């Protein structure tokens, strides 16, 4: 049995590679709950301990030497490829016996690219949800076995050729998973209430990653986790679901249980389905009463043709009415609107501009809002990527995808025109500054302070950031300043 083995020889290190640019941290997310769930699942179901770290490349040699893992698990999104490549290459160079396992969206949707780029530097890929798969794989490795063909949901090299095992069935009952491992700092924690998505947006890969099935945790299970977090000193909870509540009965049950357990003393932020607000406008008043300090909603676009291409009509049947409801509501916290500026199928940059401005005019005057505009990115795993390929449109090399770049240029609009418009549009937003809350900077700062980045590295980054802003603020060209700073926060 693996459980009987010496724990000193069972070292498992789980790494979230953080992205840097010119020595500055690209702040996007906190430590992923996926690794927290894997860590707690290893412990509760297999008796295996693991270490979890946020890790910029500069710190990785320190952590590899400190923990000397037998298994290195890396969570990888597409924009983390450069960090993944450096970490895997360095690990095999200095510790060839360490098994490198990569999971997440990148290996799930583009496994052959990882094999072609890294070859034997990566031993295994975990495809899809990883708790059960990573536990079985870890037990097999630590037990000294070289037979992995019967483990579902993995890919690996065998005699120089990639081998893909059978797909793993998803777990329908999310309550069966233990609560994720966390390091509570500054009284903040993140929580998920569901996996998958009930909608069919063409630009999103979430539904495909989770097997096109939407699953929710029971309210009782969710309340139990919040009670435990409150006892640990957590005062602020951020729900990470793209749609925290889609069902009104589920929200209403959660609302009642929050007050029954005195959880409204905590502060919450969440993403809410626009369709839920449209069908139950009074939900915004209930959110205010249960101490929701901010919520996000994906309106995406006001243009009907674009809404058809993006397949968001079922999610929000009438974006204008949604905005009117929000404008008239009693909700006083921060409201974040997600906006997609283009579809990739426009015939002129003026079409993109007209659609963008239409949205900006619709929300003008609403207080305490943040607009997060983005250019369409045909991520692997999304339906729109296949639409682009079929129409002969450009899709970016997934090993060079960046969070802030469009990655696409239509037959009529260049990539430069699109990126220039992003800068111009953000300047238009800044002209209405009194109506917009720059909360992303503060959430990014909290993440930076609470991450496991080594103190010496944090000091170097802080100095680099200070020096950078001194240089940038000296320019009198606001577009240059905005174009530069948007890459970091």
Distance CA 263, CA 222 (A): 12
CB 274, CB 316: distance < 8 Å: yes
Quote the pLDDT of residue 466. Answer: 63
Decide: 174 and 27 in contact? Cβ < 8 Å.
Answer: no
Phi-psi region of 405 (alpha: psi -120 to 50; beta: other; left: phi over 0): beta
Question: Which pLDDT belongs to residue 436?
Answer: 42
Q: What is the pLDDT of residue 3?
A: 37
Give the residues across from 161 on adjacent strands.
158
Q: What is the pLDDT of residue 2?
A: 35
Confidence at residue 353, expressed as pLDDT on a 0 to 100 scale: 93
Q: Report which of 404, 31, 380, 405 is spatially closest to residue 206, judged by C-alpha positions.
A: 380
Which burial class, exposed, middle or buried, applies to 80 when counting CB atoms under 10 A from its CB (0-12, 13-18, 19+)? Answer: buried
pLDDT at site 95: 95
Q: Which residues contact 480 (CB under 8 A, 6 or more apart)?
A: 472
Low-confidence ranges of the chain (pLDDT < 70): 1-9, 19-31, 314, 399-409, 432-453, 457-458, 460-489
CA distances in angstroms from 446 to 27, 137, 443, 449, 450, listed in the order given:
10, 35, 5, 5, 6
Counting runs of H as helices and runs of E as strands, what totals does the chain give?
Answer: 19, 17
In angstroms, how far is the first alpha carbon of the chain from the final one? 47
172-226: pLDDT as tens digits: 999 999 999 988 877 889 999 999 998 889 999 998 999 888 999 999 999 999 9
Q: Which residue, among 264, 270, 224, has the nearest Cα to 243 in the 3D structure?
A: 270
**Spatial distance between the Cα atoms of 210 and 196, rounded to a whole number of angstroms:** 5
Residue 374 burial (CB < 10 Å; 0-12/13-18/19+)?
Answer: middle
């Amino acid at each position: 049995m693996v459980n009987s083995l010496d724990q000193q020889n069972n070292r498992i290190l789980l790494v979230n590679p953080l992205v840097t640019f010119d020595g500055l941290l690209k702040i996007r997310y906190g430590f992923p709950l996926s690794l927290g769930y894997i860590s707690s699942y290893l412990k509760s179901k297999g008796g295996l301990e693991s270490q979890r770290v946020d890790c910029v490349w500069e710190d990785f040699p320190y952590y590899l030497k400190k923990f000397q893992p037998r298994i290195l698990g890396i969570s990888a999104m597409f924009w983390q490829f450069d960090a993944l490549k450096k970490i895997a290459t360095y690990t095999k160079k200095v510790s060839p016996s360490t098994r490198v396992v990569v999971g997440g969206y990148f290996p799930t949707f583009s496994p052959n690219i990882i094999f072609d780029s890294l070859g034997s530097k990566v031993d295994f890929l975990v495809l899809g949800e990883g708790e059960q798969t990573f536990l079985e794989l870890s037990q097999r490795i630590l037990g000294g076995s070289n037979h992995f063909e019967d483990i579902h949901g993995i890919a690996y090299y065998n005699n120089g050729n990639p081998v893909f095992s059978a797909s793993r069935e998803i777990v329908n009952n999310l309550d069966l998973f233990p609560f994720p491992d966390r390091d509570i700092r500054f009284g903040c924690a993140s929580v998920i209430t569901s996996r998958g998505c009930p909608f069919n947006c063409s630009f999103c890969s979430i539904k495909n990653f989770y097997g096109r099935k939407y699953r929710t945790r029971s309210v009782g299970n969710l309340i139990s986790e919040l009670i435990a977090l409150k006892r640990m000193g957590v005062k602020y909870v951020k729900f990470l679901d793209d749609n925290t509540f889609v069902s009104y009965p589920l929200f209403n049950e959660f609302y009642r249980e929050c007050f029954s357990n005195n959880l409204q003393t905590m502060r919450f932020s969440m993403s809410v389905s626009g369709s839920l607000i449209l069908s139950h406008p009074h939900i915004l008043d209930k959110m205010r009463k249960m101490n929701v300090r901010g919520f996000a909603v994906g309106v995406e676009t006001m243009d009907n043709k674009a809404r058809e291409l993006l397949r968001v009509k079922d999610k929000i049947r009438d974006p204008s009415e949604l905005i009117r409801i929000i404008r008239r509501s009693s909700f006083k916290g921060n409201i974040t609107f997600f906006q997609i500026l283009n579809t990739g199928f426009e015939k002129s940059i003026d079409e993109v501009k007209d659609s963008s401005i239409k949205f900006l005019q619709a929300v003008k005057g609403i207080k305490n809002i943040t607009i997060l505009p983005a250019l369409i990115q045909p991520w692997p795993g999304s339906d729109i990527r296949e639409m682009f390929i079929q129409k002969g449109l450009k899709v970016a090399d997934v090993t060079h995808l960046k969070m802030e770049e469009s990655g696409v240029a239509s037959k009529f609009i260049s990539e430069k025109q699109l990126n220039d418009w992003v800068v111009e549009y953000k300047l238009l937003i800044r002209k209405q500054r009194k109506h917009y809350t720059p909360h992303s900077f503060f959430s990014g700062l909290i993440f930076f302070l609470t991450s496991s980045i080594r103190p010496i590295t944090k000091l170097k980054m802080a100095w680099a950031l200070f020096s950078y802003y001194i240089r940038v603020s000296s320019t009198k060209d606001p577009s240059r300043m905005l174009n530069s700073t948007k890459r970091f926060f």
